[in-house]
A and B are shown apart, each in its own frame.
Chain A
Amino acid sequence: MSKKRYWRNLEELENTPEFQAALAREFPEDETAKSPDGTSRRHFIGLMGASIALSGVTGCVRRPVQHIRPYAKAPEDLIPGIAQHYATATHIAGRTVGLVVEAHEGRPTKIEGNPDHPQTFGGTTGMHQAMVLNLFDPARLKQPMQGGKGTDWAAATAALKAQFDTLKANGGNGFAVLSEALPSPTARDLRERFAAAYPNAKFFTFESVHDDNQRAGLSAAFGTPHVAVHRANEARVVVSFDSDFLGAEGDVVLNSNLWARNRRLRTVEDKMSRLYAVEGVFSITGTNADHRLRVKSSEVEGVVLALAAEFAKDPQLAFPETLKPHLKATGKAATDKFVEVLARDLLAQRNGPGSLLIAGRRQPALVHAVVAVLNHLLGNNGRSVHYFPDHRRFDADAGDLAGIKGLTDLLNAGSVDTLLVLGANPVYSAPGDLAFAEAFKKAKTKIALAEYLDETAKLADWALPKAHFLESWGDVLGTDGTLSIQQPTIQPLWAGKSEIEVLALAVGSAETEGRDIVRAFWKKREGAVGFYKKWRTWLADGFSKTPFFGVTPSYKAPEGIGTLTPSAAVGGLEVAFVESPFVFDGRFSNNAWLLEMPDPVTKVTWDNPIAIGAATAAKLGLKDADKVSLEANGKKIEAAVVVVAGIADDQAVAYLGWGRDFGSFLPYHETGVVGFNVNPVRSTAAADIAGAKLSATGGTYTLARTQIFDSQAPGFGFAARQLVREAEYADFQKNPKFAKAGILEHGKPRPKAAVVHPPEKGIYEELKYDGQYQWGMAIDLNACTGCGTCMVACSAENNISPVGKDQTRRGREMHWIRMDRYFVSDEGKPADEVQVVHQPVACQHCENAPCENVCPVAATTHSPEGLNEMAYNRCIGTRYCANNCPFKVRRFNFYNFAKDYPETLHMGRNPNVTVRFRGVIEKCTYCVQRINAGRIASKKAATPEAATAAINAITPACAQACPTDAILFGNIADKESAVSRARALDREYRLLTELNVKPRTSYLAKVRNPNPELGS
């Protein structure tokens, strides 16, 4: 019999290398995908073809072949089309949140906060919302790489095992591990076992956004490393010393939620907390402060010591002696006045409603120690602040910066043979003075467990794909000792392994799979009896309801400040290195949802320009978007500046986490590098605050901003528009209905009535809304911090396309809900003395929607339940509705943004929401898919009470994600619903009511609570 060959094409027959390469490449790159406005040759040829065959092209679309396969063996409890929810948890740099993950047919599509979790309360940050996109990121490391060549886990495991056995034999000599912060009890146990197996090995932890200062300060105060857990709901006066506790720092979700509880004014009798912020940067916390003292970051310490000096004057307080020598006033009249008033305000709360002082991550150890002392003196310890032992690291660990420095020294000394990097990316994020990349190369065997082929993994001998938290088992402990079990919702897409699995491999653990490792640990710890039931309960709840699990708070008095001394003053311009609220330390810098988030203050997307205040800009002769060089710690980087009012004089703000090169994965983003890497100008000695020099290098950088106009008073001397209405607490008590009367701007009455034009009347008969369900929303501007979580949640829920820097610059961002930010300042004050108001704006679902009657094809119509609905399939894209929307919340698909996505990203889409095609309008639907699900649940309910409960449980993604519960949604026809009660509040108002559009979204006016002694 002759030997026959079957072949597909000539390349296969010849078996050329090109063919082999084409086979291996699963998703061939589209080389023609260029910037849409730059005409490439290929595009031009395509265009020529199009203009010839214009009418014909639409008729011959070749549709991709799709297969629908049934489950041969259906998983239990899985009903196709019905989402499943799993409780899990994760952490960012050791800060835990409890989560509930929505999965459709096995694919996780949406991450939400676990409402029962005591450190989460159902909210999240934008980063948590966006983590699902990281899971499906096609740029992830997909297989183990040995020396840059792909291999598989079998080969990798065998090689690593051999390596580990050799190291074990010599007691771990020359073995070092660098890990990111792991708040996992299992990991801690593995680390102990690791230390036993490799007695001579070194174990370091490193987080670029480190807690070293708090660790050192609280060590001085309490003797051992501690972490502060704040409960702002227990405080009437909250003071932030350069801490963005509402933005990106620490337990943000917990802090935001608890802080907002004392800001929710329902009646005139309700008390309201007061927030002071002392800071140089303009943080989210600063934008929410009732009083903000603008001092350079390095001068905050002086303010804290001056405040302590005021306390020391009080004979009733047992003031620690070690601190007394350092106390002195700042010597600046305005600051000392502020400090004096602040001290009085704080002391007034001492035996009353309580207060809370929060020291920022960037502030030196002394500040943390002094703040602990002051909190204790104010009686806050155990009430609004709880000090827990820091379980994320061993007490003997050096801090993060000391750790990375120690490792670098070892590497440079040539005493590291094998280096195992667990999750961290030190080549990118280590301070510039260490020249870590060079040191890293000196280790003989470098093993990196990384989600991406990042800067570190690229240089490693073994790059191992790290499993996403949605793919792996684990456990995370909250700072307050809440134990959460991290359970996966999907098999690892790219055969990744978790940190604990790799540690277990190094230790030589009997269990190799994540689930077995975690279970075995807890079974051993909790005892085998009844463990199965306990484990099932943990998995179902997502956390253990036993409080203080594993760690107990320390309520002992701080002993003082030990040997800490004040730091040296930084003269002239200084730079503060701040974690980005969206890409954090760089771990989310390939996440388009987060890259496209506008900065809460500057509104810049897709970039991290160095931010400076108006006065500093004038002094340095810099203009907005100028290209500059930033010099600090003896190094220099190229960057751009953004000028934003409100930053302290002589203060520059540099966001960490940007300037990484991923190769573009967004079809409409032109380059792979986004922003500027500022790590090179950090140093281990000055990693947070450093003296700096900014000089123009000539030229202008292109910044993409989502909001250009910053003021409600729109120019030409026009009075402010009544968009965000605000009053001071005292005025609110006098006139609780101020928002209805049209008083705004620091409680002053308007110079003339806002709009005396008679209300417009429709020419058509207005719709009657008398059905059982009428949907409405209420947004409490007093609780909203402007963090932007709602925007990311909306993108995740509604399959909203990110559009890239170029399109954002052209004003084509697709966010269905946007965060408007206006600056407010008093006349005659410097431009930098500003306050900020945030206002989330989505479709207002007007009962008389102006967008509806203008659509020639009736693609947008009103539902009897009051929803302004959009039929994407009917839309032909005249954009008339977008023009006629007074709120400008409608979004147009200028290109086929959703088309060119890699296959994996399609897996993460919400199957209940249509993916919009090019040329159609889209906008907020109040999450109509959730409304429908709730209505169905209500119809199936056994009792009327259960039916109402099902309706009340309907929560749009934005409202669900909001860490402060500022957004309420529900049935306004039911007078008992939360949203109806909110609409009945005195502070309620609606936007542009004079247009007779009758919005269904209400706002609750903002009330500030300034200290009368300081003036507004």
Chain B
Amino acid sequence: MATHDSQSETIFPPPLVSGNHTFHSVTEAVCSVVEAPPSKGWIASFLVALMGLGILGISVGWLIWEGTGVWGLNQPVSWGLAIVNFVFWVGIGHAGTLISAILFLFRQKWRTSINRFAEAMTIFAVMCALVFPTIHVGRVWLLYWALPIPNQMGMWPNFKSPLLWDVFAVSTYFTVSLLFWFTGLIPDLATLRDRAKSKVAYWAYGIASLGWRGANRHWQNYEKAYLILAGLSAPLVLSVHTIVSFDFAVSVIPGWHTTIFPPYFVAGAIFSGFAMVITLAVPARKIFKLEDFITVRHIENMNKIILTTGMMVGYAYAMEFFIAWYSASEYESYTFVNRAFGPYAWAYWIMVSCNVITPQLFWSKKIRTNMTWSFILSIFVNIGMWFERFVITMSLHRDFLPSAWDYYTPTMWDFGCFIGTFGLFFTLFLLFLKFLPSIAIAEVKGVMPQADPHWEGYGHHGDHGHEAQPAHATADKGGHHG
């Protein structure tokens, strides 16, 4: 972008798309990633991801062949890494829908460059999450009993069980997120269809784009559908992790039986979700040269959210301790003292360091606009949030009767399943980067200065920074032909 005068800088936020982009160059920039033959880097990454997927296959295969005993679980700790990973992945799956739906409803234009990306992340993360409740049960082959399928036994699932609520919440979330993502993809798929050179690509993108022609009628329906889906998704962002938190909060176990869990879990989910978006976006914008679309401003905004939600999570940690003391329940008090100073204190302090202490660095503008720092700190948050779920789940190891207490050590198969889901995630993610437009082309065009009805045309915009603001009418997006 050309220089701004100092006044415009103070009044207007920086533009959402930098670089001297035209509608056509936007289409080119995004589509070329898909259309070009896979780079060596992509192939190498994909092979690594496939290896991870292989680890998942072996770990799950061994688990189902041999029994749940291959994991490190024991009598007091009946849930271990599987549930930790489940909550971790579901948490990561929050940012996508939050960015797409809630920011969309609040007309946060800056979301456009990252929403596709984040939604894909959501869907893959939820898929990873769904692996765990599936494989962690003792008899995988009977898992369908947890679904309300009419059957000859006349048995319904137990609607009082938070696990059943989980089944509904996560599957609803997955379905709506998938639809939302797919709806948003339609105009861009049509773009890819129109640019397709091979028959296979033509037919594949053609079928997927559902006959999109960019007609006014199409755009109207599209916008309505998108708005409705955004409206549906928004409460789901809050409900999914609320219900996941019920898995713990509805129990009687000290450290689990806590009313603070729903907001605390949602905040944590957003926290970890945004961290994961940064973890993915920072290298991706570099590798695929998307710096103009995923700008420093995007990263900075997300870092601010991380800072905010990180402090919410920190508040929750403090409040848990306060309530443990204030409740005068000695079991509760013991659980929390044990958390901080007991056998799992190491995990607790990793959690506090990564989730509460390191994100404070984002108070510094220098750090939150620095890509390297953002990436490193996002990794810290990812680690910290994984440990948060670990710490919560490990409340099991010392509950009411000291005679039953034990210590849980995960085995290589526990870790195999965890590492394996990263393989699954990155396999899917790399396929997404390669075969689908990773940035919402149509939407990005809508926030470009060219989309502003008052835009003065190519060649003039450089001198009028204030005019380069996003258009107010979203219906005014550029066509897919660019």
Q: Which of B14-67 contact A (CB under 8 A)?
A: 57-58, 60-62, 64-67
Q: Which residues on B sit within 8 Å (CB–CB) of A886?
A: 252-253, 399-401
Q: Flag A854-881 by CB within 8 Å of B: 1 or 0 each.
A: 1111100000000000000011111110
CB of A827 closer than 8 Å to a CB of B: no
Cβ contact within 8 Å between A876 and B404: no
| B332 nearest in chain A by CB position | A757
Is B333 close to A, CB under 8 A? Answer: yes
Q: Which of A44-52, A91-99, A375-383, A523-531 contacts B (4 or more CB under 8 A)?
A: A44-52
CB < 8 Å neighbour of B411 from A37, A43, A46, A875: A37
CB interface residues, A 830-856, toward B, < 8 Å: 839, 841, 850, 853-856
> Which residues of B have CB within 8 Å of A919?
67-68, 137-139
Give the contacts of B123-179 with A (CB-CB under 8 A): 136-139, 141-143, 145-146, 155-158, 160-164, 167
Complex alpha-carbon distance, A711 and B334, angstroms: 14
**A366 CA to B232 CA, complexed, in Å:** 89
* B333 interface neighbour in A50, A718, A811, A822, Cβ under 8 Å: A718
Question: Which listed residue (B69, B136, B155, B411) contacts A807, Cβ 8 A?
Answer: B69
* CB under 8 Å from chain A, chain B span 61-98: 61-62, 64-70, 72-79
CA distance A731 to B136 in the complex (A): 51
In the complex the two chains form, what is the Cα distance from A994 to B141 in whole Å? 39
In the bound complex, what is the Cα–Cα distance between A553 and B72 (angstroms)?
59
In the complex, residue of chain A having the shortest beta-carbon distance to the beta carbon of B61: A51
Which residues of the partner chain A approach B253 to less than 8 Å between Cβ atoms?
883-884, 886
Q: Are A876 and B137 in contact (CB under 8 A)?
A: yes
Contact A755 B328 (CB under 8 A): yes
Q: B329 an interface residue at 8 Å Cβ cutoff?
A: yes
Interface: B250 (CB within 8 A): yes
Q: In the assembly, what is the distance between CA of A896 and CA of B138, in Å?
A: 11
A709's partner among B61, B331, B405 (CB-CB below 8 A) is B405
Contact indicator B338/A891 (Cβ below 8 Å):
no
Query: Which partner residue on chain B sits nearest A809 by CB separation?
Result: B74
Name 17 extra pairs, CB < 8 A, besides A854-B160, A884-B252, A919-B139: A36-B66, A36-B69, A37-B411, A708-B405, A709-B402, A711-B402, A716-B334, A755-B331, A757-B328, A810-B69, A839-B403, A857-B146, A878-B136, A883-B79, A887-B404, A894-B67, A918-B138
Instruction: Find out whether the CB atom of A36 lies under 8 angstroms from the CB atom of B138.
Output: no
Q: B288 at interface (Cβ–Cβ under 8 A)? A: no
Which of B138, B142, B160 counts the most A-chain CB atoms under 10 A from its CB? Answer: B138
- Structural contact, B328 and A896, CB atoms closer than 8 A: no
CA distance A723 to B331 in the complex (A): 12
CB distance from B437 to the nearest CB of A (A): 34
Please report the C-alpha to C-alpha distance between residue A936 and residue B164 in the assembled complex, in whole angstroms. Answer: 37
A716 in contact with B330 (CB, 8 Å): no
Q: Is the pair B75, A888 in contact by a Cβ cutoff of 8 Å?
A: yes
Q: What 8 pairs across the A-B complex have the smallest Cβ distances? A: A877-B138, A919-B138, A51-B61, A811-B74, A894-B69, A888-B404, A820-B403, A879-B78
Give Cα A718–Cα B402 distance, bound, in whole angstroms. Answer: 12
User: Among residues 329 to 357 in chain B, which have CB atoms less than 8 Å away from a CB atom of chain A?
Assistant: 329-334, 337-338, 341-342
Q: Known: A51-B60, A711-B402, A884-B252. Is A754-B155 also a contact (CB below 8 A)?
A: no
B74, B164, B401: which contacts A856 (Cβ < 8 A)?
A: B164
Q: Are B251 and A856 in contact (CB under 8 A)?
A: no
Say whether A396 faces chain B, with CB atoms less than 8 Å apart: no
A115 at the interface (CB under 8 A from B): no
Q: Tell whether, in the assembled complex, residue B75 and residue A876 are in contact, meaning their CB atoms are under 8 Å apart.
A: no
How many Å lie between the Cα of A195 and that of B357 in the bound state? 89
Is there contact, CB below 8 Å, between B64 and A50? Answer: yes
In the bound complex, residues from chain A placing their C-beta under 8 Å from that of B328 are: 755-757
Asked whether any CB of chain A lies closer than 8 Å to the CB of B406, the reply is yes
Interface pair B70/A36, CB less than 8 Å apart: yes
**B398 interface residue, CB < 8 Å from A?**
yes
Interface range on chain B (Cβ under 8 Å from partner)? 35 or more
What residues on A are CB-neighbors of B411 within 8 Å? Answer: 37
Chain A's closest residue to B254 (CB) is A886
Which residues in B have some Cβ–Cβ distance to A below 8 Å?
57-58, 60-62, 64-70, 72-79, 136-139, 141-143, 145-146, 155-158, 160-164, 167, 247, 250-253, 327-334, 337-338, 341-342, 396, 398-407, 411
Residue of B nearest to A883 (CB): B78
| Contact, CB under 8 Å: A757 / B329 | yes
A992 to B337, CA, bound (A): 20
B327 touches A718 (CB 8 A): no
Chain A residues with Cβ below 8 Å from B329 are 755, 757, 994
B76's closest neighbor in chain A, by CB? A888
B421–chain A nearest beta-carbon distance, Å? 16
* Measured CA separation A813–B406 after assembly (Å): 12
Assuming the contacts A51-B61, A895-B66, asked whether A887 and B138 have C-beta atoms less than 8 A apart, the reply is: no
Total contacting residues, chain A, CB less than 8 A:
77
> Which B residues are in CB contact (< 8 Å) with A39?
62
Specify which chain B residues have a CB less than 8 angstroms from the CB of A716 in the assembled complex.
334, 337-338, 341-342
> Is the pair B400, A721 in contact by a Cβ cutoff of 8 Å?
yes
Residues of chain B within 8 A (CB-CB) of A709 are 398, 402-403, 405
Question: In the bound complex, do residue A811 and residue B139 qualify as a contact, i.e. CB atoms below 8 Å apart?
Answer: no
In the complex, A79 has a CB within 8 A of chain B: no
A–B complex contacts, Cβ < 8 Å, 23 sampled: A46-B65, A755-B330, A756-B328, A760-B252, A811-B74, A812-B69, A812-B74, A854-B163, A856-B167, A857-B157, A858-B157, A876-B145, A876-B146, A877-B137, A878-B136, A879-B79, A882-B78, A884-B252, A891-B75, A892-B68, A895-B66, A895-B67, A917-B139
Closest chain-A Cβ to B327's Cβ sits at a distance in Å of: 5
The CA of A821 and the CA of B402, in the complex, are separated in Å by 10
Question: With A and B bound together, what is the CA distance between A50 and B63 in angstroms?
Answer: 10
Asked whether, in the complex, the Cβ of B138 is within 8 Å of the Cβ of A875, the reply is yes
A810 to B70, CA, bound (A): 11
**Chain A residues positioned under 8 Å from B74 (CB to CB):** 810-812
**A32: min CB distance to chain B, Å:** 12
The proximity string for A residues 533-562 relative to B, scoring 1 for CB distances below 8 Å and 0 otherwise, is: 000000000000000000000000000000
- CB-contact partner of A37 in B70, B76, B79, under 8 A: B70
Shortest distance from the beta carbon of B152 to any chain A beta carbon, whole Å: 14
B160 near A853: Cβ-Cβ < 8 Å: yes
Query: CA A886 – CA B76 in complex, angstroms?
Result: 10
- Contacts A47-B61, A892-B138 given; does A882 touch B75 at CB 8 Å: yes
Q: Does A223 contact B (CB under 8 A)?
A: no
A614 on the B face (CB < 8 A): no
- Whether B157 contacts A884 by the Cβ 8 Å rule is no
Q: How would residues 797 to 837 of chain A score, 1 for a CB under 8 Å from any chain B CB and 0 otherwise?
A: 00000000001001111000010111000000000000000
Complexed CA–CA distance, A754 and B58 (Å):
50
Q: A875 to B337, Cβ gap below 8 A?
A: no
Which among A54, A58, A708, A874 is the interface contact of B406 at CB below 8 angstroms? A708
Report chain A residues within 8 Å CB of B342.
715-716
Residue of B nearest to A882 (CB): B78
Beta-carbon contact of A877 and B139 below 8 Å? yes
Tell me how far the C-beta of A176 lies from the nearest C-beta in chain B, rounded to whole angstroms.
51
Cβ distance B141 to chain A, nearest Cβ, rounded Å: 5
For A875, list chain B residues within 8 Å (CB). 138-139
For the complex, give the distance between the alpha carbons of A712 and B398 in Å: 12
**Inter-chain contacts of B138 with A (CB < 8 A):** 875-879, 892-893, 918-921
Q: Chain A nearest CB: distance from B402 CB in Å? A: 4
Cα A850 to Cα B251 in complex, Å, equals 7
Q: Is A995 part of the contact surface with B, judged by Cβ < 8 Å? A: yes
Q: Could you say which of A820, A853, A991 has the most chain B C-beta atoms within 10 Å of its C-beta?
A: A853
- Cα distance A884–B161 in the bound complex, in angstroms: 12
Q: Which of B145, B163, B251 contacts A874 (CB 8 A)?
A: B145
Q: How far is the CB of A95 from chain B (nearest CB, A)?
A: 31
Which residue of chain B has the shortest Cβ distance to A861 in the bound complex? B158
A712, B402: Cβ atoms under 8 Å?
A: yes
The verdict on A984 contacting chain B, using a C-beta distance below 8 Å, is no
Contact at B251–A883, with CB atoms within 8 Å?
Answer: yes
